[in-house]
Every structure is written in C-alpha cells, then in structure tokens.
Structure 1
C-alpha cells in the first residue's frame, strides 16, 4: 500500500506477489473469527489467525519500506522527500475517510502515513544506518513504551477520523505509541524493508537468503519468547485475567493466543516477553519482521510461476483493494458465512486485478494519492517549449 507504483518496466514481480499475499492475509484476519469456539473456557485459536494474525500487517509495513526505496531511487533527495510527504498526505486523508465506514476494522492507513513522514530523513540513508534504526525501534521502543504509556493520553481501538485532527496531541500519542499500529515501533518494519531494497532483489541468491534468514529470525524470536515465558516462569508473573486498554478484562490465555491491540498491559514488564500478534514487543516485532522477509524471499523465488501472476496483479494495487475491502465489510453485500465471504473477496480481487492490469494503468486509489506528487514533479521540472529556428533568421 505504498500508494504509488514505479513504472511497469521497473517493477519487481516478486515484491508485488508478496504484497498480494499480505493483503489476502490481512483480509482473512478481518473476515474469520479469532477463535473456533468462544463458548469454551479454553477456545481453540482458528487456523487463519494462527497463520496470518500480526504477520500480514507486518509484511505490509516491511514491503512498504521496500517500495519507498524502489519508487524514489531515481529521484533527487529533495524530490524523493517531497514525493513521499505528499503521498503520505493522500494516504492519510484516505485513511481518515475510511474510518467513517462501520467496518469493525482498525484502519491502518493513517499510521502508514505517519510512518512515511518518519522515514523522510532516512530515504537516502545507508544500509547500516537503516539496520541500526530498525534494531533500535524493534528492541528499545517497546521497552520505553511499557514505562511511559500510563502517562500518555488514553487510547481506544477506534480508527482516527478527520474529527481527531481537532486534538492533535491525543492523535499523535495514539499514532506513535498507544494505538493499534504504533508508528515508532513499526518504523522498525519500514527500515528493515528499506534496507532490503538496496540488495539485488532479482538475484535468486538474495531471495534464498531472505527466505532462510527470515525464517531463522522468526523461529529464534519465538523460541526466546517461549524460553522466557515457560521454563523461566515469566508467564506466571502475568495477570490472569489480564486488563487490556480499550478491551477490558479477559483471560490471559485469550490475549496471548489470539493477539493484543498494539501494546501490552503495563502492570508487569514480563509482558515484554510475549510474541503475541500485535503485542508490539521486541519478540513480536522480530518474529513478524522475520516472517515478512521470508515471505518476500519466497515470492521472489516463485515470481516466474504463471499461477502467481494474479497475486502480483493484486499486489500492484493493494491500496485500492484494501480500501474496497474496508467499504464492503461495512456493507450488507457479503455472505454472513466467513468462508464464503472470504472466497468471494479473494475471487473478485484476483479477477478484477488481472483484468485491470491489462489496461497498464495504476489502480484507482494509487492514482488518486499520486496526484499531488506528480503535480509537484511537473512544477519542479517544467517542460521547456521547443525552440524552432526559422530559415533565414
């Protein structure tokens, strides 16, 4: 959902495939319930949530970092910063508007817009700097957040609307620290993607390293979390039931199994040891960064497979399909059965994207948010009229 597509000849198909998979994963977490049996005291987590919860959204952020570098690398530093800033304004405005739809979805676009703004000083940063910022965001920000969040304005699970602009301090705290997708921590995802974009993503060796390295990082993070919580007894230090801001009090296991809402409870530092989806702990951020890199590596490896082309088409216009998904989820157009609803949305997305790609145009939402950046480029680099020399002069 970067909002602007590089020229078709410069597209890396594997990146689009990864974005398409991430979009369909995010849609699945919105459609399917977290638990298979909520009447039980110990309900089983649904297979969809086990696979996609937290990982799909993280993949979007990592891939957005990749897209930022790829789409601005031929621009001057000043042009790149202006283009990304104007793109962020468009994405933010779209997100504020989508929040009015009664979809039950925590719309991510306003958080993305702020992420792009935070990335402006880093657009021309070296890989070591990007890696250092990513590590700092993943490791240090959750710890600081754990100890300062109680002193910040309280947050809820609602998506920011245009009305939220009237309380800029509250909105900034929500977008950066206390909200569902806290941008200061998620900057780690973006910087990881920006660093990866400096590699040769058309190389099978690079793709293999991303796949293997990403899986290793994901497994190491989960193993470390398990070690701290189980053998070392961290889980016994966590409140049960747990009190989560914006949600209330529920059994500890429900949150650990299905996910949190952007931040952990602040009653114990041991919460930082969980790798629960959307808990924004170092282990959650490291695990989902790893799965995002592994997804990208796998997508790059299968980029030439014909069956992957519809996914690439969806990935080339994720902003459009994400927006449509939010709108239709707020309507009565979808079947009530989650499986049928998901199948219908996937079928429509794959078919419509494949047909739209034949036109050679950007997706409608991508084109809309790129109007200001394109206008700025025209103003900065006006075409000079051709000078015709008349004979005899």
Structure 2
C-alpha cells in the first residue's frame, strides 16, 4: 500500500500490527486489498450461501474462504511493514526485536480483547478477532526472520499444517467430533483450556493451520512491494497457485471416487446433510477425520492443503493487482483504502449491527448498507487524518509496550 505519508495514510491495521519505530509511507494497494477483504467478509456474513433456486450464491462463489484468507495474509504483510527496519524491511535485531515482539503482543491483546467483547453481540457471525489475537501472538515468534526463511516456513505450513491438524483433532475432541462453533466471549475465559483448544485446533479459524497464511504474508512483506515487477509477480504467481490448487483437488478427488467416497464418511455430528452444497460453500475450519480423502477437497474454510494453497494464491493475486492499480491510479483505490485502513473498527461495528440491519434491509440491502458505510466512514477518517477509534487504542498499546522495552535502564 504509495501515497503521501499523511497521518491518514499512516493509520490502520498495518501500521499498528507490531508498532513501528517510526512512521512510514503506506502503500495504498495494501490498504485497498484489505478493504476488498473486509467487504467480501461482510458479504458472506449477510448473504445466504444458497439461492432461491437451490444453487450457490455468487457471493459465496467469489468470496467464501477467499476474503478471510486475504485478510489473514495481509495481516502478515502489515505486521512486517510495521516492524521491519529500513527501506528493505529487514528484520529487527537485538533490543529492537524485543520491542517489536512486545508491540505485536500488545496489539494481539487489544484485538483479542475487542473480539471477546464483540462476541457478546447477538447474531450468527463466527467472529474471527479472538483467533486473530492468538495469531498475532504466534506471529511475534517470527518477526526476526528474513524473507527466504519465512517463505519456506509459510509454504511448508500450508502443506503440513492440515496433516498435523488432522492427527491432533481426534486426540482433543474425539473421533468424528464436530468443530467448535462457539463464538468466544468474556465468559469463555472461565474455561481457558477449552477456549485455547477451540482457538488452536477445533474452531472455525484454527490457528494451527491459519498460521500458514500469516507466515506467507510476512514473507511477502519483506519484498519491495513498491516495485511493479514484484506486484506483477504476486499477481501471476497467485493466480497460477489458485487455479492449480483447484484443478489438483478436482483430479485427486476424481481418482479417489470424488464425492461418492465422502458421502459415506460424513459423521452425523457435522450436520452435512447436503454434502455437495457444503463442499461448494463452507466447511467449518476443518474436515472430518473419518478418511484421509477429506484432505483432497478445496472447500472454503476446510483448511486442507488445497484450500490453503488456493486461497493464499487468490490473496496474493488480489494484492498484486491492487498494488499495480495503486501505482497507476491511486485515487481510484481511495474508497477501498479508506475502509481498509480501519478494519478493526469497521469489522467490529459490522458484527454488532449485522442482525438488526439484516432484519430490516434483507440480505443484499444490508450488505450494500454495510459496504457503503464502511467506505464513507473510512474516507472520512482518511480525509480527517485520523485513525479509527479501535486502531488508536491498538496503536497506543503498541507504543506503550515498545517504550517499556526500549526505556533506558536506571543506573
């Protein structure tokens, strides 16, 4: 995300992910891509997966799984943009590394705390913020790594993480057990082991697999994103990965007998009464453990290797396209960039207001309302040169944590 380094251009999640030692110029393409992720997530929350004719809605066809993956990859990008040293975003070292980790952990605490409070809102949305808080805490372990290490580790995590999760889930929840659908709220803190198990393994956005998204994003953040060649490479590589993952999954399922094999392997506890539709739209954070053939699907949110690679590819492609457009006509991305610079605030407001607006305006009407509100509010804060309210809280916590580490010791 390149625009003049105004206060507005410096606000938002990327600038606050780990607490930058100095204010830096933002890339409008990164903010715009984050805006796309936010509006896409709103769509999947507010629009039903099934059309009146029984097919899959175009909103789910386009955004399900991809929007949240884009958001997670960009979280890694933003974390590096905020904690890297110098124009090449080199990893921090020594005391600065300790300060960067403290800043990331402080932001993790704010995001997780906001998520617990937002979890009290009535509705049907699987709030992602508490998972994100834990993801940031895990990411603090990796902020000192260089591009190549992050890229290898991230790629390996996308492939191996689902296998590890497949082996671990039966141990913590029993064979055939359904995922944890509970939305964390303050009462969840009374059961810390159950909460941690849900966040790591059995929840809708399990950190054990989603860490791969963050690591890939951190690797991308180490690249010179202001260069057109890098943006073009992200677009091309991401598109190839997305298409290849879908084709490879289809071929692998065909060899395994496809849906016919899985039909008899869907545990009743998962509620997969319409398996073909579920495979097209959503599997909650994982797949059943009744057969290894489940890992061959590329269903949104299934966290299989094909799903993770495919959605990571689409995320890189969107980021690359946004960076290219941002170089050529940055003003065109201003509406998306404004919303993308204050996603913590806008996402929280969206969750809290989704149920009443959906009841009044209907599916597409409420999505249009939420999207328009996000763009207008984002632009207003951008023009005023201000951070979003929750972004300001996260930034203050990050600065305080960094200052505590960097404060000179008393003689």
Structure 1 position 322 matched with structure 2 position 347: yes
Corresponding residue of 2:221: 197
Q: Please report how far the alpha carbon of residue 117 of structure 1 lies from its aligned counterpart in structure 2 after TM superposition.
A: 1.1
Structure 1 position 226 matched with structure 2 position 250: yes
Corresponding residue of 2:49: 34
Corresponding residue of 2:16: 4
CA contact 2:46–2:358 (8 Å) conserved in 1: no
Which of 137, 160, 171 in structure 1 is aligned with 2:195?
171
Corresponding residue of 2:271: 248
Q: Please report how far the alpha carbon of residue 343 of structure 1 lies from its aligned counterpart in structure 2 after TM superposition.
A: 1.1
Q: For structure 1, which segment, 61-70 or 337-346, has the greater mean C-alpha deviation from structure 2 after superposition?
A: 337-346
Judging changes above 3 Å, is the alpha-carbon distance between structure 1 residues 332 and 306 closer, same or farther for their aligned structure 2 residues? closer
After superposition, where does 1:32-181 map in structure 2 within 5 Å?
A: 32-37=47-52, 43-74=54-85, 76-153=96-173, 155-181=179-205
After superposition, where does 1:208-219 map in structure 2 within 5 Å?
A: 208-219=232-243
Corresponding residue of 1:267: 290
CA contact 2:256–2:293 (8 Å) conserved in 1: no
Q: Please report how far the alpha carbon of residue 147 of structure 1 lies from its aligned counterpart in structure 2 after TM superposition.
A: 2.8
Structure 1 position 308 matched with structure 2 position 333: yes
Deviation digits for residues 319-365 of structure 1 (CA, Å, limit 9, x no counterpart): 11101100111335763321211111111111111111112111111
Q: Please report how far the alpha carbon of residue 109 of structure 1 lies from its aligned counterpart in structure 2 after TM superposition.
A: 0.7
SS for the counterpart of 2:51 is coil
Deviation digits for residues 237-291 of structure 1 (CA, Å, limit 9, x no counterpart): 212583375x524122121111100010111110100000000000000000000
Structure 1 position 365 matched with structure 2 position 390: yes
CA contact 1:328–1:334 (8 Å) conserved in 2: no
Which of 16, 24, 27 in structure 1 is aligned with 2:39?
24
CA distance in 2 between counterparts of 1:381 and 1:195 reads 26
Deviation digits for residues 36-93 of structure 1 (CA, Å, limit 9, x no counterpart): 03xx7xx210000000000000000000000000011146101100000011001000
The structure in which a higher percent of residues are helix is 2
Which of 262, 278, 282 in structure 2 is aligned with 1:238?
262
Q: Please report how far the alpha carbon of residue 8 of structure 1 lies from its aligned counterpart in structure 2 after TM superposition.
A: 6.7
Q: Which runs of 5+ in 1 are unaligned?
A: 384-393
Corresponding residue of 1:182: 206
SS for the counterpart of 2:361 is coil
Aligned residues: CA RMSD: 2.1
Corresponding residue of 2:6: none
CA contact 2:102–2:405 (8 Å) conserved in 1: no
SS for the counterpart of 2:267 is strand
Corresponding residue of 1:386: none
Larger Rg: 1
CA contact 1:244–1:264 (8 Å) conserved in 2: no
CA distance in 2 between counterparts of 1:14 and 1:8 reads 18
Q: Please report how far the alpha carbon of residue 144 of structure 1 lies from its aligned counterpart in structure 2 after TM superposition.
A: 2.2
Q: Please report how far the alpha carbon of residue 382 of structure 1 lies from its aligned counterpart in structure 2 after TM superposition.
A: 5.7
Corresponding residue of 1:390: none
Q: What TM-score do the two structures reach when normalised by structure 2?
A: 0.87
Corresponding residue of 2:361: 336
CA distance in 1 between counterparts of 2:79 and 2:253 reads 37
CA contact 2:107–2:397 (8 Å) conserved in 1: yes
Corresponding residue of 1:351: 376
CA contact 2:37–2:70 (8 Å) conserved in 1: yes
Q: Please report how far the alpha carbon of residue 376 of structure 1 lies from its aligned counterpart in structure 2 after TM superposition.
A: 2.7
CA contact 1:92–1:109 (8 Å) conserved in 2: yes
SS for the counterpart of 2:106 is helix
CA contact 1:3–1:366 (8 Å) conserved in 2: no
Q: Please report how far the alpha carbon of residue 150 of structure 1 lies from its aligned counterpart in structure 2 after TM superposition.
A: 1.8
Q: Which runs of 5+ in 2 are unaligned?
A: 1-12, 86-91
